[in-house]
Amino acid sequence: MIDIRGFFQKNRKLFSALGMILVVVLIFWAVNSPSIVGASATERLLPIYNVQREDKVVAMSFDAGWGNEDTQTLIDILNRYNISTTFFLVGDWVDKYPQSVSALSAAGHELMNHSSTHAHFSKLTEDQIVADVNNCNDKIEKLTGKRPTLIRCPYGEYDDHVIKAINSIGMTAIQWSVDSLDWKGIEADEIRRRVLDKVEPGSIILFHNAAEHTPEALPAIIESLQAQGYKIVPVSQILLQGEYSIDHRGTMIPK
């Protein structure tokens, strides 16, 4: 008859080591399991970076917070291609350039919120964020008759309490999935390459209204996207209607 007790006593160290290995394997599986990672990630509040779409449509957006040298040039270029886009405006910029705000609206572009003073929202309370956002909304609505429904957080910074504050007033936070990095002063060819290499159906592209080489880069980007069969629309038109979720990457997905 096999002495089971004696066998385990003689091999105690072996079984102890095997037990530790099993514990480590189980912990690794738990931490890296897609279902668990997904569940944890969806608890975060996120802005929309891009949209899951089958059709070839992309959204083009411009942030306007400081200079105004190229706004009319951008309007002319976009008008040449019969394209409407989204401009996210800082309230202080609206105060400085009301004629440009009116010109953008008259040209058919949608004007959305980029905060009142371009403050760091993560350092503000929820009440302060709401007050800041509404202040910018009031300024845009006064000039255009339309109240913004979308916002791009200053510096692209956010956390749960920032998104919660934005959601509390019925607005939607918008990020981007394709960054032109035009604000860095890179050459037009580099801007074009960065955008065209990364764009895909449902992308939200980020430009700036006062970047040095954006007007030079824009026609080639538009022509290439159109040649590939893409339709270029404002951000609000790329968003899904009805029920949706936002996954851990910030992708808007239909339920």
Query: Which residue numbers are catalytic?
Result: 63, 208
Please enumerate in sequence order all residues whose Cβ is within 8 A of that of 19, keeping only pairs 6 or more positions apart, or say none.
none
Which ranges of 107-243 would DSSP assign to H, the alpha helix? 126-144, 160-168, 188-198, 214-227, 235-238
Token pair, residue 161, equals 């309490």
Gap between the Cα atoms of 141 and 242, Å rounded: 26
Gap between the Cα atoms of 41 and 247, Å rounded: 7
Q: What angle do CA 152, 156, 158 make, to 5 degrees?
A: 90
